[in-house]
Amino acid sequence: MKDALLSPSIQPYLDRNEIAGAVLFVANAEGIVHLEPVGWADIEARRPMTPETLFWVASQTKPIVAAAMMMLVDEGRLSLRDPVEKYLPEFAGQMYTSRSGEEEALLRKPGRPMTVEDLLLHTSGLPYKTPVEEPTLDLLPLATAVRSYAMVALDFEPGTGIIYSNAGYNTAGRVIEVITGQFFDQFLDERLFGPLGMGDTTFWPDEEQAARLAQAYGPDAQEGHLVKAPISFLYYPLSDISKRYPFPAGGLFSTARDMTLFYRMILNGGSLDGRVYLAPETVREMTRRHTPPGWYRSQGYGFMADGASYGHGGAYGTETRVDRASGLILGWLIQQASFHGEGANARDAFEKAAIATYGKA
């Protein structure tokens, strides 16, 4: 690991109280080349960020869901072209809302049912969530949440549009459960987290992990300084297994070291430390654009993917992506509900500094 500091690239944002702190990491196919905690995990407690600080990575869960599903594709247990109703009969006969004019809305039968691929590309027509997923996203068993999606009309015919859909990724997780006969979190533990060594990646932080969790912040009403902002999407206490359920669309907590393991496996074409998780051609499909030109999302399977990079962000500011030109994994772990001033630009400043320092000659 090199010694060059990247913290100067974001120090101005810390000095202006626009961000509390972050963990910065840079890796390549061989390993971590830079890991640097900056600022505070908890301002009031004067607890600094450390390499072991835990973060809710939110929608960074989605590429992991896609990887789990593509493992089943590689094994011949699933086809991306399969209708979802093949595994979840409650989706049979689902209609979509067709609008003519500003007032009239009609229910129509789609030209084809949604497929497993639609779930991964956000082209299913399923909504972001349904009203039963209140007040937080983690209070329903996965099977129950997914049944609620089958009871609503689709927003459009599958494959004809795109809308960012947590419901789609939760449904993908439920398909995995039906095929494997395992709970979704058990499948991830056995097939990905355990073998990869991602010991801090979980839906339920235990007491020790919760003590390492970064406090979430947001700007106060006058946008002059940061105040605590508990994660509104999640039920507290986060370790409460009796009330909280895993949700594939965005439920994971993780650390910088764990995230590098997953992304190194992807960057290595589906293998890490001699173990094969995915076929190289499968990884190529996951990390290329499948949505048509002109659509607002350049979407691969689980990843936002274009000619320059692939990766995914998460609510409360986290992001990990692979920069294709430099061959670097760029990781930005932060826990911030929203930004004021120039705070939203801090990640770009870090990434530019990281590529300039560690990129290929």
Q: In this structure, what CATH number is given to the domain that contains residue 126?
A: 1.20.58
The answer on 346 and 255 residing in a single domain is yes
Q: What is the mean pLDDT of residues 241-267?
A: 97
Residue count of the chain: 361
Asked if residue 1 has pLDDT above 50, the reply is no
Q: How many CB atoms lie within 10 A of CB 155?
A: 16
* Residue 221 token pair: 């009403």
On whether the CB atoms of residues 15 and 8 are closer than 8 A, the answer is: no
Between 98 and 25, whose confidence is greater? 25
110 preceded by cis ω (within 30°)? no
85 belongs to a structural domain? yes
Domain-terminating residue out of 125, 145, 180: 180
pLDDT band at residue 223 using 50, 70 and 90 as cut-offs: low
pLDDT tens figures, 307-336 = 999 999 999 999 999 999 999 999 999 999
Asked if residue 167 has pLDDT above 90, the reply is yes
Is residue 159 classed as helix, strand or coil in its secondary structure? coil
Structural domain span for residue 131: 78-180
Domain-terminating residue out of 163, 180, 197: 180
Rounded CA gap, 77 and 264, in Å? 25
Is residue 333 classed as helix, strand or coil in its secondary structure? strand
The answer on 313 and 295 residing in a single domain is yes
Q: What is the mean pLDDT of residues 205-233?
A: 92
pLDDT tens figures, 131-148 = 999 999 999 999 999 999
267 belongs to a structural domain? yes
The answer on 86 and 21 residing in a single domain is no
166 belongs to a structural domain? yes
Q: What is the mean pLDDT of residues 25-39?
A: 98
The answer on 190 and 123 residing in a single domain is no
Asked if residue 105 has pLDDT above 80, the reply is no
Angle in degrees, CA 235, 50, 322, rounded to 5: 85
Q: What integer pLDDT is reported at residue 183 of this predicted model?
A: 98
Number of domains, the chain:
2
The answer on 43 and 86 residing in a single domain is no
Percentages of the chain per state (helix, strand, coil), in multiples of 5? 30, 20, 50
